[in-house]
Amino acid sequence: MARDKTIAITIINLKEKTISIAADQTMSVNERSQVNTPVGTVATTGIVTGFEITAGNSNNFFKISPTGKIQVAGAGLNYESKQNYTLTVKITDDDAEAKTAQIIIQINRTRVLVHSTKGC
């Protein structure tokens, strides 16, 4: 004999993938680099839909693209003034999940050639 039963099914939307940003990333760029000089790409996993520098960029020397590429944004990087910058980078995804990590950018010292006419 067959009986009818009512069954309740609850569907839970599980996030299949999460985003992450690698910790302890270090990049470098030469002092006196021109605007738009590439510095490096932030290492992430998952489907990241947004990148933002949220701290450490007080002089606006750096910018980050929608794909996580950090570039020089302003002239004036000078090893004698500051040898490294610690940027806080935030990543987000479509579910508004956010993660942050600190990215250290070391400034490389470059030689300055001084021409002298002394003794000629």
All domains in the chain, ordered by first residue: 20-108 (2.60.40.60)
What integer pLDDT is reported at residue 98 of this predicted model? 95
Buried b (16+ CB within 10 A) or exposed e, 2-23: eeeeeeeeeeeeeeeeebebee
The structure's pTM equals: 0.80
Phi, psi (rounded to 5 degrees) for 18:
-115, 165
Q: Residue 16 — pLDDT band, cuts 50, 70, 90? A: low
115: which 2 tokens?
């021409």
Mean pLDDT of the chain: 91
The 3-state DSSP class for residue 80 equals coil
Above 70 in pLDDT, residue 15? Answer: no
* pLDDT value at 116 more than 70: no
The share of the chain scoring above pLDDT 70, in percent, equals 90
Higher pLDDT: 115 or 72? It is: 72
Position 118 scores a pLDDT of 67
What is the pLDDT at residue 10?
A: 87
